[in-house]
Structure 1
Amino acid sequence: MNWTQNIRLRVLTLLSCGLLVASVWGTPVPAQAAAAPACGSGDHGLLQQLQAKHSAAEETPLSFTDIQFLSGDTGRAAGSGFMIGTSDGGCHFQKIYEGQWNFRQITFPDNVHGWALASVKEGTDAYLIATTDGGSTWKRISETAVGFERIAFTDNKHGFGYVRAFTYYTEDGGLSWSQIKTPANTRGAEFSSRSNGWAVVVAPGEGYRIMKTTDGGASWKLSLKSAYAYPEYGRVYAKGDQVYALLYGGTGMSQTSYSLYASSNQGGKWNRVIAEDTAGGGPAPGSGTALLKKGPASGKPGNMQLVGNSTAFLVGYSPAGEKVAVGRTFTGGKQWTNLPPIAGFDGMISFPGSKDGWMAVRGQNSSSLYATKDGGATWKVKFTFKGTEQ
C-alpha cells in the first residue's frame, strides 16, 4: 500500500495512539518529534534532521525545486534529497522520500508512476530516474547522465524529453528515445501528443517564427512571425484549443525582458498579452500592441499552467522587489489580470483546476508551499522550511 492510499488511515490511527504518522517504510518515530499540526499551520516539522544538516552546511533552509499537484488535495513537492506529499489539501504532509537524489524536475502522469531529472548529491550531472510506487523508491533509468532540460510523460509509457534545440520521444517509459524532427534554429519546442507540436524558431536577421506540426514533425507550418527583435529562446504551452508562446529576451541586473502571446484556437490567431521591457534585459522580443506592459510582479516569468480551453496562469517574480505573483486569464488570453503579490524571491506554480492551485515560494530564509482556492487571488501558507536562525 503506497503513501497516497494510506496517509489518511495512518494519520487517524497514529494520532489516536499518540504517535507520529509512520514513515514511508512503516517505522514509527517518537511522538514528541512531530505531533500532527492543525490544518493550515505553516511548519510541519518534517525532515528535521535533514533540515538541520542542510542549514549547517549551506547556511540556507531546504528549498523546493519542483512541485506537481494532480488535484487540489493531492500532490508532491521535491527538493535536494527529499520529496514530501499531501492527500488532504495540505492539512497534513508526509515524507515520501529521503535519500541521495537531488530533484530538479518531477513529472507524474498519475499518482503511482513518476519520472524525474535528478543529480546525485554533490554532483552536477542529471540522470533520468523513475518510480512505480508514488515516489517512495526510485530507479535510475539512464546509465549515463542525460542532457534533457525538462521531461513530460503523458502516461506510464509515453513521454517527451526536451533540450533547447531538440525533442525526443519514448514509448517504453524512458528506456529508449527517438528524436523528433524539429525546424532548424529551434529554440524551444512543446508536444501535446506525438503528432501535435510547436516550436519557437529564431532566424538571425529575420526575427522569429512560431511553427506548428500535426504530423509528428514530418512537416512544419508557420503560425506566427515577427520581423522585429527575436527572442533568446522560448517556451510553448499547449492544451486543448489554448496555445501560449513565452518568448524570453535578454537578462541583466536580475531582470528578464519577455513577451507572452496567446491563441485560443490552436494557433489560428494570436494576440500579444504581455510585452515587458526591462533596463537590464532590454526590449521585449516581438512586435504588436500588447494588452499589458508588465507581467505578474513586474518581474521575471516563471512557469505556466493551462486549464481547460480558456484558463491559464503565469507566475512572475521580482528578486529585487522581493515579490512573487500570478497572472491569469479565463478568456484564452483575450483579457489578462495580474494578481496581488506575496513576499518572496522566486516561485513556481501547479494548478490542477481553475480555482485550486499551489505555489512554491523561496523567501529570504525560508521555502514555503502556498495554496489558493480562488484562482490565485489569495494564498494561504501550508508548509514552510525555515532557516536555523528563525
Structure 2
Amino acid sequence: MRLHKWIKPVSAAAAAFLLVLPMGWGPSPKAAAAAQQTPAPCGSGDHGLLQDLQLQDTGAGREPLRFTDIQFLSQSTGRAAGTGFIIGTSDAGCHWQEIYKGSWQFEQIDFTDNVRGWALAVLPAKQTPVLLASADGGAHWKGVYTGNLHFERIQLMGAKSGYGYTAAGAYRTNDGGNSWAKVPTPANTRYAIFNDAKTGYALTLAPGGGYRVWQTRNGGHSWGEKLKVGASSTAGGQLYSRDNQVWAVLYGDSGMSQVSYALYGSTDQGAHWKRVIAQNTAGGGPAPGTGKAVVSSGPAQPGGHPGNMQLYGKETAILAGGSPAGGMVSVGVTYNGGKTWKNLKPSINGYDARISFANGKDGWLAVTSATKSSIYSTHDGGATWNRKFAFQEALQP
C-alpha cells in the first residue's frame, strides 16, 4: 500500500510563503502593505490572521478552530498546527502567516529544519491518523507509506530517518518511509522513545502490577532494566529523553476531572532516579511508587493532568499541565535535574496545553482547548507569559 495524494493549500498566503522560504519567513506583499497602512505593535493581538481563518471555516455543524501542536526550531522560527491549518513565524511571533489551510486536521508535527517535516493528521470523516511528509515547510503534504501500521506518535531524526510508534511498539525507517523495520522492545511495552539509532528507552507494564523503564544501547537488540515502580494502575505513561536526561511520567487512576501521577527523573541515563512529583488525588487515588517526592502536586491545580515535557542541557526539564477543574494551564520546571521543582503560578485560561522551548528560558505554549485556543510566549522559563495569538473564543472574558 502506498499513499501518493498531494494536498494543495487553498490560500494565496501559502503561495507567498513558498516565495519567501529560501530567504526566511515573512509577511506576504499584501500583508506588508496592510501593515504599513495600519501598524501593529509586536505581540498585540493576532493581526487578523486567525480571525480570517475562522471566518473561512464558519458553517453549520463545524467545531471551532483550535491549536493542536506547536514546534519552535529556534527562538524566532516556529509553527503552530491545528484543525485544518498551520501558521508560522520567523520573527519570534511578531508576525505570523498562513502556511497551510485545508482538510487535514493535524495531531502532531515534527520538523527537523525549516523545510522538511512529518505530521500525523486525520480527515474529518476518517479518524485514523495518517502519516504525512512535507518538503516545503508545511505548505504541501503527501502521504507516507506505513503499510497496515497506525502510528500514534512520530519522531523524525533526519531527512530520511525516523521512528513511528504504535500503542505497543516502535518502528524505524531509514529511507523516508518507503520501508519500516520493527524495533525489538521488551514485552508489554506501552511507550518507547529513542535518542538516536542506538540509545532508547521503553516503558512496560510489570507482571502483577507496576511499571518498568528499560534502556537499550544497541538499537533494541537487548534491554536492561533501569527503574522499577510499584503501582496498581495500568494506565501507562510517557517517556522523555535527551542526552543524559531521562524522565518518566507514570499514570495512576483518574476520576472527577482529577489525575494521579508520578514523575521520575534521571540525569545519568537512568543509572539513578529521583521521585520528583507524586500527585495523589481524591478522584484518582495514590500516585505510582513509594518514597518521598520533591513535591506533592504537578503544575495546574486542582487535580491537574500532565502535558508534554521539554528537556534542555544537562538538568533542565519543563512539564506542561492542565486542570479542567480549575480551567487553567501552566508549567512546572527544574533547573537541577529534579533536586528542586517549582510549579509556576497558573496565569493562562485553558484545559490542555502543549509546550515547545528553544532553550531553558525561551518557550511557547499552545492552549489546545476548543474554546480557549491561544498561543503564549515566555522568556523567563514560564514565570510570565505573553499572549501572542488567539481565536476569538479565547478573547472573550
User: How high is the TM-score relative to the length of structure 2?
Assistant: 0.88
| Residue 119 in structure 1 maps to residue 122 in structure 2 | yes
Residue 96 of structure 1 and its aligned partner are, at CA, apart by: 0.4
Residues 1:319 and 1:385: Cα distance change in structure 2 (over 3 Å):
same
Q: Pick one of 173, 176, 180 that aligns with 2:179.
A: 176
Within 5 Å, give how 1:126-275 maps onto structure 2: 126-142=129-145, 146-275=149-278
- Give the equivalent residue in structure 2 for 1:356: 362
Q: Pick one of 71, 74, 79 that aligns with 2:74.
A: 71
- Give the equivalent residue in structure 2 for 1:344: 350
Matches of 1:270 and 1:325, distance apart in 2 = 25
Give 1:102's aligned amino acid.
Answer: Q
3-state DSSP class of the match of 1:72? coil
| Residue 379 in structure 1 maps to residue 385 in structure 2 | yes
Residue 118 of structure 1 and its aligned partner are, at CA, apart by: 0.8
Matches of 2:146 and 2:250, distance apart in 1 = 34
Q: Pick one of 310, 314, 318 that aligns with 1:305.
A: 310
- Give the equivalent residue in structure 1 for 2:282: 279
Residues 1:2 and 1:290: Cα distance change in structure 2 (over 3 Å):
farther
Matches of 2:222 and 2:322, distance apart in 1 = 37
Give 1:375's aligned amino acid.
Answer: G
Asked whether the 8 Å contact 1:74–1:87 carries over to 2, the reply is yes
3-state DSSP class of the match of 2:55? helix
Asked whether the 8 Å contact 1:52–1:388 carries over to 2, the reply is no
Matches of 1:116 and 1:186, distance apart in 2 = 23
3-state DSSP class of the match of 2:128? coil
> Structure 2, unaligned stretches of length 5 or more?
1-17
Residue 14 of structure 1 and its aligned partner are, at CA, apart by: 4.9
Matches of 2:258 and 2:20, distance apart in 1 = 41
| Residue 83 in structure 1 maps to residue 86 in structure 2 | yes
Moved over 6 A (4+): none
Asked whether the 8 Å contact 1:296–1:327 carries over to 2, the reply is yes
Residue 364 of structure 1 and its aligned partner are, at CA, apart by: 7.1
- Give the equivalent residue in structure 1 for 2:14: none
- Give the equivalent residue in structure 1 for 2:9: none
Residues 1:358 and 1:4: Cα distance change in structure 2 (over 3 Å):
farther
Matches of 1:132 and 1:59, distance apart in 2 = 30
Residue 144 of structure 1 and its aligned partner are, at CA, apart by: 6.4
Matches of 2:186 and 2:279, distance apart in 1 = 27
Residue 240 of structure 1 and its aligned partner are, at CA, apart by: 1.0
Q: Pick one of 369, 374, 378 that aligns with 1:368.
A: 374
Alpha-carbon displacement from aligned partner over 1:173-207 (angstroms, at most 9, x marks no partner): 12211100000011111111111111111123152
Q: Pick one of 329, 333, 345 that aligns with 2:334.
A: 329
Matches of 2:147 and 2:124, distance apart in 1 = 16
Matches of 2:57 and 2:72, distance apart in 1 = 26
Residue 145 of structure 1 and its aligned partner are, at CA, apart by: 7.0
Asked whether the 8 Å contact 2:86–2:101 carries over to 1, the reply is yes
Asked whether the 8 Å contact 1:78–1:84 carries over to 2, the reply is yes
Matches of 2:382 and 2:299, distance apart in 1 = 11
Asked whether the 8 Å contact 2:51–2:391 carries over to 1, the reply is no
Matches of 1:389 and 1:276, distance apart in 2 = 32
Give 1:340's aligned amino acid.
Answer: K
170-179 vs 37-46, greater mean Cα deviation: 37-46
Asked whether the 8 Å contact 1:55–1:62 carries over to 2, the reply is no
* Residue identity (%): 51
Residues 1:384 and 1:141: Cα distance change in structure 2 (over 3 Å):
same
Residues 1:314 and 1:242: Cα distance change in structure 2 (over 3 Å):
same
| Residue 61 in structure 1 maps to residue 64 in structure 2 | yes
Residues 1:78 and 1:93: Cα distance change in structure 2 (over 3 Å):
same
Give 2:381's aligned amino acid.
Answer: G
Alpha-carbon displacement from aligned partner over 1:310-343 (angstroms, at most 9, x marks no partner): 1110001101101111000111112111111122
Residue 121 of structure 1 and its aligned partner are, at CA, apart by: 2.9
Matches of 1:291 and 1:130, distance apart in 2 = 41
Residues 1:85 and 1:9: Cα distance change in structure 2 (over 3 Å):
closer
Residue 254 of structure 1 and its aligned partner are, at CA, apart by: 1.8
